[in-house]
Amino acid sequence: MSNPTIYDVSRLSGVSTATVSRAFSEPERVRETTRRRVYEAASALNYQPSAIARAMARQRTDKIAFLICKKGATILDEFYAGICEGVMRRANSLDYQLIVSTAEDWQRIPQSKQIEGAILAGDAQPDLIAEFQRQNVKVVLANHVSPGFDLPCIIADEYDGVRQALSHLVAQGHRQIAMLAGRFSSYITSERYNAFLAAMKELGLSLDESSILMCERDAESAVQAARALLDRPNRPRAVFAFNDVLAAGVIKAARRLGLRLPDELAVVGYDDSSVCQLLEPELTSVHVDCRRMGELCMDRITALLHGETDVPRRTVVPVSLRVRSSA
């Protein structure tokens, strides 16, 4: 049996094909009783209106882009893949088409795809944001805040994440706490760095600025930086690392020095990535609800596309500490 068409729905419901089309593309223009007849006929026939036809009728494409804005990133990046999963689930439930790419690929390859909205995850550059705005594309930021742009941003509670990590270390009796900071986006670097300073002060801990080291984002750079921290005569008894990869580097350096974890050194990471349970001992880390961040991004894009004017500009997603054997 061939697939039902708009003409079949028209005949069964007793209205014109134009009315059937409007019932799906612009339902507010069709009387409720007529809409009900059309929908009942469509249901009886198992008719699914063409996404292309709907887009042409409304002069919309229902396409949303999800771009990972991180130097050297791929779409397999674990943290942003989690956010993308939340976006994808919500987009599917709302019948939006999702295009996933990195910002680098998007800008390097000419794009013929017409999109209505863009979710920019990570360190979105001002020129990219401005270009989308010139094209009248709605923009939402994930895990980033860009000064100078009045955009909805979905961010994790960075301060509370760092505070929970340090509070746990203090509860374990640690007073000498170092921080291994990574060169991430300006927003994340600033938020976590300042959160560390504020939480140390709040917990009444003295801060030795020499116990704060910056390194690149890879594990080997973290090993070298951690070695510099742990080789000192007055070495720290605990290390808070900016993310789990850096924390893995700290654990590797500690093992090379023969330190027992967590007895002689406690380590806490951030992001609660899959690496946490692959390490020995398993890594205590701050869990970020990436999927929820993605769902909220899609909610904000949908609200913007529907013309809502009171869309929240900053939404903070709670985080939680996952305690394991490393601290």
Confidence at 114, pLDDT banded by 50, 70, 90: confident
How many separate helices (H) and strands (E) can be counted in the chain? 12, 12
CA distance 186 to 227: 25
Q: How far apart are the first and last CA of the chain?
A: 64
pLDDT of residue 120: 97
> Three-state DSSP class for 134?
helix
* Span 110-130, average pLDDT: 86
Tokens of 252: 């590797």
- Amino acid identity of 105? D
* Span 6-22, average pLDDT: 83
CA distance 325 to 231: 23
Q: Is the pLDDT of residue 220 over 60?
A: yes
pLDDT of residue 159: 97
Q: Is the pLDDT of residue 110 over 70?
A: no
Q: Is the pLDDT of residue 60 over 70?
A: no
pLDDT of residue 53: 55
pLDDT of residue 209: 85
Confidence at 281, pLDDT banded by 50, 70, 90: very high
pLDDT of residue 54: 53
Average pLDDT, the chain: 90
> Three-state DSSP class for 42?
helix
CA distance 273 to 33: 52
pLDDT of residue 2: 67
pLDDT of residue 164: 98
DSSP notation for 141-208? EES---TT----EEEE-HHHHHHHHHHHHHHTT---EEEEEE---HHHHHHHHHHHHHHHHHTT----
CATH architecture of the domain with residue range 158-288: 3-Layer(aba) Sandwich (3.40)
* 63-156+291-317 and 158-288 agree in CATH topology: yes
Least confident of 57-66, 196-205, 229-238, 264-273: 57-66
CA distance 169 to 199: 12
CATH architecture of the domain with residue range 6-58: Orthogonal Bundle (1.10)
pLDDT of residue 194: 96
For a pLDDT cut of 90, what percent of the chain falls above it? 65
pLDDT of residue 255: 94
Q: Which of 292, 307, 295 is CA-nearest to residue 96?
A: 295
Contact 113, 77 (CB under 8 A): no
**What one-character DSSP code corresponds to residue 1?**
-
**What one-character DSSP code corresponds to residue 257?**
T
Domain boundaries, the chain: 6-58, 63-156+291-317, 158-288
> Three-state DSSP class for 212?
strand
Phi, psi angles (nearest 5°) of residue 304: -65, -40
Q: Is the pLDDT of residue 113 over 90?
A: no
Query: Greater confidence, 92 or 180?
Result: 180
Most confident of 68-82, 105-119, 282-296: 282-296
For a pLDDT cut of 70, what percent of the chain falls above it? 94
pLDDT of residue 144: 96
* Span 228-233, average pLDDT: 91
pLDDT of residue 73: 75
pLDDT in tens, 157-177: 999 999 999 999 999 999 999
| β partners of residue 103 | none
Q: Does domain 63-156+291-317 have CATH number 3.40.50.2300?
A: yes
Tokens of 281: 């001992």
CB atoms within 10 A of CB 296: 23
CA distance 321 to 327: 11
pLDDT of residue 111: 56
Least confident of 48-52, 244-248, 262-266: 48-52
